Amino acid sequence: MFKNIKNKFKGLAQRTKKATRAVKVAALGLFLSVASPAVTFAQNAAGDYTAGTTALSTVAEEIAKYVPIVVKLCYAIAGVVAIIGAISVYIAIISTCFLTQFY
């Protein structure tokens, strides 16, 4: 009796997997059929790409203006980190020296 019920559940599980797989394939097909013409239309609708290329070149020039500022900021941060590290090493050495004097 339990084998019969077990076999029925196995069959139900297999049919569910097949149905789920079919739904996934159908959804993928629907997505591709809708997305492909939209991409093609988006590429052909502009026609002239000069606006995009000029915008990209303008952005590249504006970003290039900030590079020296960012470099100086990185140097300043590195200097602060180096000073803090040097102070911590100095404190460690001094505390070690004072501890070894008494022994």
Q: Among 13, 32, 10, 11, which Cα is nearest to 21's?
A: 13
> What is the rounded CA–CA span in Å between residue 3 and residue 7?
6
The secondary structure element, H or E, covering residue 76 is helix 50-101
pLDDT score of 96? 79
* Cα dihedral 33→35→39→45 (10° resolution): 80
The domain limits of the chain are 1-47, 63-103
- Please tell me the number of Cα atoms within 13 Å of 13 on its side-chain side: 6
Q: How confident is the model at residue 15 (pLDDT cuts 50, 70, 90)?
A: confident
pLDDT digits (tens, 9 = 90+) for 22-60: 777 777 777 777 766 655 555 555 567 777 888 889 999
> What is the rounded CA–CA span in Å between residue 97 and residue 103?
10
